[in-house]
Structure 1
Amino acid sequence: MHYMDFKFKIVNTIFSSMSKASIQSVILFLTFWNVLAYNIPFVVSVYNIVGHQSLSAVLLLSFTIFSLCILNMLFLTLISIKPLFKVLVVMQFLISTILLYSNATGKQYNPFAFDFYEWLEGLGRFFTFHFLLMLVFLVCLPSFTLLKIQIKWGSLKNNIIRWVGYSSISILILWCCFYLFETRWSPVYHESRSSLRNIVPFHFLDSSLKFIKQQYLNPIYDFTIIDSSPTIPSSKRNTTVVLVVAESVRADMFLSHTINPLIQSINTQGITIEACNTYHTSSLQCIFSFLSTESYSDSKGKHQQNLLDIMSLAGVNIYWLANENQCGDLCIKASIERVPFDCQKKDCSDEELVNMRYHRVLSELSPSEPNLIILHLKNISSPLYSKSYPKSVGSNHPTCDTALVSQCTDTQLINSYKNSLNYVTQLLIDINSYLEEFQNKYPTVETALVFTSNHGESLGEGGLYFHGAPKNIAPKEQLMVPLLLSDSRLNSDCISKSANGFTHDQIVHTLLHKFNIATKAYKANADIYTTCEQH
């Protein structure tokens, strides 16, 4: 009994001491609470990347934690409006807890689903003992504490000065931190992109703003039907094509470093083309769009038929195979089979994707039907290229084996990147080998292998690294990518002789030609086969 009385007195003392507090003290307390309660997974992910064995790593980790504190302070200051503050903070507790649990367990769902039963089923996945425990300690208890506190706001004038002053100082500090640590943080950002969702709740806020912009603020376009009835002649349906799309493969290094062993092992032709953009999502959408690289925009691209839509209508069987990057908006309208991956590991390699998934799909295809297999390889992981390939292909030394590329020389970084290209080369040889087996088994089938990358990569040229620069100022290393085409129907070197200003535009029309699809979308002057025949 005495113990319970003592415990009650302690709790009562804590709440009594916190019963009144200035808004500045409350914001400071909530700042530390948000970082410690909801953002530890992100801090851990950064720690796993940079380690702690060097002064640079310790400084970068400290910078990350400090920036999270300032970011939270800015957020809390912006919502510190007297009538709404407590309500908004409690909502933030709830959203942050849901995101924390969702990221930790992978139990995510679309809250905007129109089907009530689908929404209810997704919501039901959260009702576990673990989640309820998190609700108690991360939502209920801090909310109860906050509601018990009587906040001393001060005068309206002081509140306005505080709001403007704290916001301005926070933004200034964040800008200074970014300016001082940009070169050190940039490679860590690229390496930890998949962990950015752990920045709670800012990734949610950023995604929400993007959703609102996409749904309500973008220009409204009428959906354009390019062709509602594309066809393939019944006598020309026995075509199977494999399209391989990689990321971060720049043309100059890949073609000079890789093309010779590829030419020796498979009948292929390689050229340099211009990519649509310098970052993944936009370029991938553009590769399958009928808009030109000059006129393409994500909004326009989503409001008209793409290559997959036309092929699906024409009766082509489409298979999308990817390790982690699914087709998203590209596949909304088309009938596309997303083949499940048998790999049970957390991080499956592209080699396993090829040997387990692609080989199985190829062996089960109907040779008398038109088939398109799209292999979307995992990106060459910048900046830690050494994670992108097995040691067996690492013929270039020394390499850069840390995300802190400032500790590496450009030579080490380039060697790691070249080893990644070795791995891509080996994958393409394996992909083609399986396709040749299929061709030998069904000699009457028309086959082709197409390879490209959705953007290139900077490796120190002009002081730039990685990719993602705005297209209008992007260097050629980020825009010029390889295009390989292996098809026995093509005369040797005809592509290189006829290529003049080729871009990603050529891919869609070349594939339409290969599948013998009669459609209004087809442009002969952008078709590599037609261009070759004219030379």
Structure 2
Amino acid sequence: MKICYHKVLFALAAYLCALNFVFFAAVLDGLKKAEDPVLLGFTIFAGVFFILLSTLYVFAPPRLIKITGSFFIAVSAFSAYFMYNYGALLNQDMMITVLETDNKEAFSYLNFKLILWTLFLVILPIGLLIALKIEYKKGIKIAFLRGFCGFVLSLGFAGVLVLLNSQSVIPFFRNNSNLKKLHLPYYPIISFARAVNSKLSPPKPLEMIAADATRASNDASKPKLLVFVLGETARAASYSALGYSKNDTNAYTKPFVAANKAAYFEALSCGTLTAVSVPCMFSHQPRVAYDDDINAQNAIDFLASTGVDVSWYGNNNGGCKGVCNRVPWLYFGKEFDDILITALKNQLSNYENQPKDAIIVLHVLGSHGPTYYQRYPNEMKKFTPTCDTSDLAKCSSDEIINTYDNTILYTDYLISEFIAELEKNESFEGSLIYISDHGESLGENGIYLHGLPYAIAPDEQTHVPLMFYSKNADLMSRIKKGVSFSQDNIFHTLLGHFGISSKYYDKNLDMFER
């Protein structure tokens, strides 16, 4: 039995509408303040259906309906999964992160719910669509004419509905501008296309802005060594050193703070994704003016060009996002971050015969989710009960928080071990800076993970921990008090720490310049 092509299009449009349940849930929330919510709601629902139908008439003509329809189903269903379960917003930055994700990180999202979701909402409907015997009208001209008429009528119905209620529809979408970012399958497809274009576009020539940089001679009795620990997905809201009370997540570094050798601060991140925050914090540009299209030397380049010995060790599967491209770097890809303790020890041994001003960057995997339980060894499972799955919906809030807090405690342990290496090393004036790239949502207001646009991101995603340790008591006393820090401070603090002068250096953003 054959089914009419137009009936299949109607059914496919209806199914794509159903997969827009996150969008419609947001619409219903916005309708609570509308004067005539029933009429407005009907207009939006019907308008979305006819817009989807008109899209199918254009991109799913008779001989392509099974291919295009399958593509739209897959994109919409998988997008809906991550939007619903993690509160993800699939914008261009998120899609760039997807393109840069390796197999290890991708498989961390695999769980039984995703398997069932894929089976029933992707494979089953696509299989049904492919199995259908669709009746097509013979003749290209007739098929084209009917398709064109279907497109015009569908778009016309949508237009008429909006025009008849324009006094309500237009203000509604203006007041709820983020709704367009929830609409499937359009927004993720557009975002992905922009991300691919960004990745494929040839990079602009490197701007050699460090050409004017000069470094003052180090008159101290010992050369300076700075260990810069770049965190991953650590939020300030979960740091006991910053007032968090549920679990003591900073038990290992607490003695150094008590001895006035270390201090914790809360800082604002440059973004809510590693791909944004990491290059931004090492850039001379402040967050409000940061433009990732500008290919300029960063703080690491400034240090290296002025004779500071630079080395970068990463265990973060997202890489250094281009920051370390022009200096010696090594990526480990191990399960736990304790490999970086060994890396630090080995690098320090390389300096035994000839100590010199140096910076060692240690980029940790940290608290990257949703598989928080895989980020720490079993002996660090201090806070229980835990959430030992990537399907966070299966876990209670307490279990998710405990598991995440274990990752923070493990990172705290690592930092204490890094400090211990600096404490016993007599060849250098050793210091350490720790800062996370961005924070994390753990279910607050139904939001999980990170990556929301900065303008609407909650504090949990934009407020990160910042720690400083030094063997130099005078340096510890110079750290600014009573001011707000952000990742904008990093570029200037790194230059200032090693005595580098440049027109790009701003002492007002140096954490140690009063």
| Aligned residue in 2 for 1:423 | 410
Query: Alpha-carbon deviation of 1:315?
Result: 0.9
Classify the secondary structure of the residue corresponding to 2:270.
coil
Counterpart mapping for 1:37-76 below 5 A: 49-52=109-112, 58-59=116-117, 61-65=119-123
| Aligned residue in 1 for 2:392 | 405
Alignment pair present for 1:282 and 2:276? yes
Q: C-alpha offsets along residues 260-288 of structure 1, whole Å, 9 cap, x if unaligned?
A: 53031573111111111111111101111
Q: C-alpha offsets along residues 24-60 of structure 1, whole Å, 9 cap, x if unaligned?
A: 3564278779999xxxxx99998985544x7x85235
Letter in 2 for 1:231: R
Classify the secondary structure of the residue corresponding to 1:455.
coil
Of 334, 342, 349, the residue aligned with 1:363 is 349
- Consecutive unaligned residues of structure 2, counting only runs of 5 or more, are 1-59, 75-101, 131-137, 157-178, 183-187
Q: C-alpha offsets along residues 413-444 of structure 1, whole Å, 9 cap, x if unaligned?
A: 1011111111111111122222333x23x2xx
Flag the 1:231–1:497 CA change in 2: closer, same or farther, 3 A.
closer
Query: Alpha-carbon deviation of 1:494?
Result: 4.5
| Aligned residue in 2 for 1:463 | 446
Query: Alpha-carbon deviation of 1:340?
Result: 5.7
Q: C-alpha offsets along residues 65-92 of structure 1, whole Å, 9 cap, x if unaligned?
A: 46888999xxxxxxxxxxxxxxxxxxxx
Higher share in helix:
1
Letter in 2 for 1:322: G
| Aligned residue in 2 for 1:253 | 238
| Aligned residue in 2 for 1:193 | none
Query: Alpha-carbon deviation of 1:245?
Result: 0.7
Query: Alpha-carbon deviation of 1:211?
Result: 3.2
Q: C-alpha offsets along residues 363-416 of structure 1, whole Å, 9 cap, x if unaligned?
A: 212653221111111142222211111111111111112222122111111011
Of 290, 294, 298, the residue aligned with 1:306 is 298
Flag the 1:512–1:59 CA change in 2: closer, same or farther, 3 A.
closer
Classify the secondary structure of the residue corresponding to 1:447.
strand
Structure 2 CA distance for aligned equivalents of residues 68 and 455 of structure 1:
38
Classify the secondary structure of the residue corresponding to 1:470.
coil
Structure 2 CA distance for aligned equivalents of residues 261 and 66 of structure 1:
51
Alpha-carbon contact 2:470-2:476 (below 8 Å) kept = no
Classify the secondary structure of the residue corresponding to 2:483.
coil
Alpha-carbon contact 2:212-2:503 (below 8 Å) kept = no
Alpha-carbon contact 2:496-2:510 (below 8 Å) kept = yes
Alignment pair present for 1:381 and 2:368? yes
Structure 2 CA distance for aligned equivalents of residues 309 and 44 of structure 1:
30
Structure 1 CA distance for aligned equivalents of residues 110 and 211 of structure 2:
51
Alpha-carbon contact 1:274-1:481 (below 8 Å) kept = yes
Counterpart mapping for 1:139-288 below 5 A: 154-160=142-148, 207-211=195-199, 223=207, 225=209, 227-233=211-217, 235=219, 238-254=223-239, 255=241, 256=244, 257-265=248-256, 267-288=261-282
| Aligned residue in 1 for 2:335 | 348
Query: Alpha-carbon deviation of 1:486?
Result: 0.5
Classify the secondary structure of the residue corresponding to 1:320.
strand
Structure 1 CA distance for aligned equivalents of residues 108 and 438 of structure 2:
28
Structure 1 CA distance for aligned equivalents of residues 227 and 423 of structure 2:
11
| Aligned residue in 2 for 1:339 | 330
Alpha-carbon contact 2:250-2:409 (below 8 Å) kept = no
Counterpart mapping for 1:317-328 below 5 A: 317-323=309-315, 324-328=317-321
Q: Which moved more, 1:505-514 or 1:445-454?
A: 505-514
Letter in 2 for 1:319: S
Of 493, 496, 513, the residue aligned with 1:513 is 496
Structure 1 CA distance for aligned equivalents of residues 141 and 237 of structure 2:
62
Query: Alpha-carbon deviation of 1:243?
Result: 0.2
Alignment pair present for 1:526 and 2:513? no
Structure 1 CA distance for aligned equivalents of residues 210 and 129 of structure 2:
46
Query: Alpha-carbon deviation of 1:331?
Result: 3.4
Structure 1 CA distance for aligned equivalents of residues 129 and 365 of structure 2:
31
Alpha-carbon contact 2:224-2:356 (below 8 Å) kept = yes
Counterpart mapping for 1:6-85 below 5 A: 24=62, 27-28=65-66, 49-52=109-112, 58-59=116-117, 61-65=119-123
Alignment pair present for 1:477 and 2:460? yes
TM-score by length of 1: 0.61
Letter in 2 for 1:360: N
Give the count of matched residue pairs: 383
Query: Alpha-carbon deviation of 1:489?
Result: 2.1
Classify the secondary structure of the residue corresponding to 1:382.
coil
Structure 2 CA distance for aligned equivalents of residues 43 and 528 of structure 1:
39
Letter in 2 for 1:158: R
| Aligned residue in 2 for 1:452 | 435
Q: C-alpha offsets along residues 441-467 of structure 1, whole Å, 9 cap, x if unaligned?
A: x2xx22111100011111222332221
Alignment pair present for 1:297 and 2:355? no
Alpha-carbon contact 2:61-2:147 (below 8 Å) kept = no
| Aligned residue in 1 for 2:44 | none
Classify the secondary structure of the residue corresponding to 2:414.
helix
